Amino acid sequence: MVLVLLQMVSMAFAEEPTEMALTVTHAGAGAAATFSVTDVPATKVWLLAGMESVSFAPTRGCVGVTMGVMPTRRLQISVDDTGSAAISGTLPESLAGKTAYVQALAYNATTASCEVTEVVEMTL
């Protein structure tokens, strides 16, 4: 009986997929920033950034997905064999004192599904 229960528990943990995650490392406006996305379920991921945190449903195959950023900037990033993607750059000095919001969106053409990360709020 104990062996059966242990097998059931181990199967439950093994089947749970990891969620795509976005991390941002920055020192503020005018400084370098790195945007990293892990556990991407696709070959490309879009980094969406804007100055408004909103809630809306995107179009084109993203049924049931809610975005949390009204994007004014979109960057497409290639995903490596480990399911990770990263991009670095300098944040504009004109953003000093403002709050920006960033989110990653992956579209998997094989399964025709979308996945988004949590919104990252950046005070610059």
Average pLDDT of the segment spanning 101-106 = 94
Instruction: Catalogue all structural domains in the chain, each as residue range(s) with its CATH number.
Output: 18-123 (2.60.40.10)
How many angstroms separate the CA atoms of 84 and 72, rounded? Answer: 23
This prediction's pTM: 0.81
Please write the tens of the pLDDT for every residue from 33-81: 999 999 999 988 999 999 998 888 765 668 788 889 988 999 999 999 9
User: Which carries the bigger pLDDT value, residue 96 or residue 64?
Assistant: 96
CA distances from 38 to 51, 60, 88 (A): 23, 23, 15
Mean per-residue pLDDT of the chain: 85
